[in-house]
């Protein structure tokens, strides 16, 4: 399976309605992805938990030292957490996923995660 592509809602001064949540379908822990310009924030709702969320970081320092992923190890059940924004130079992937941020979570628990994604001006 694969990560779901999150739809990003643009925040405007006149206001926007809260978008419908998106729930991942992959059973292996690959949750979601979104195109990132450095102004994107994700809202993560956890149904039952705690659950973990990992924001993958593709970076390497000194050609051989991997930059550690951003891990949120204990998002509580019945919680809503806002995360971001994500500087592109740190979080954007390259290659087939160029310009995207990738989110992983607890394997087999995809139905416990709901995402809403916003871009601030």
Taking each continuous run of H as one helix and of E as one strand, the counts in the chain are 1, 11
Mean pLDDT of 53-64: 92
What's the mean pLDDT in 58-85? Answer: 93
**Burial profile 25-43: b = 16 or more Cβ within 10 angstroms, e = fewer:** ebeebbbbbbbbeebbbbb
Could you tell me the pLDDT band of residue 60, with boundaries at 50, 70 and 90?
A: confident
Confidence label for 92 from pLDDT (cuts 50, 70 and 90): very high
SS3 28: coil
96: three-class secondary structure by DSSP: helix
């Amino acid at each position: 399976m694969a990560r779901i592509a999150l739809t990003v809602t643009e925040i405007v001064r006149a206001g926007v309605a809260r978008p419908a949540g998106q729930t991942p379908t992959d059973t292996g822990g690959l949750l979601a992805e979104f195109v990132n310009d450095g102004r994107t924030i994700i809202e993560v709702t956890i149904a039952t938990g705690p659950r973990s969320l990992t924001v993958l970081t593709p970076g390497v320092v000194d050609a051989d030292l991997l930059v550690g992923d951003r891990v949120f190890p204990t998002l509580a059940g019945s919680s809503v957490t806002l995360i971001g924004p994500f500087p592109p130079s740190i979080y954007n992937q390259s290659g087939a996923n160029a310009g995207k941020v990738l989110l992983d979570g607890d394997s087999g628990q995809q139905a416990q995660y709901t995402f809403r994604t916003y871009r601030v001006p």
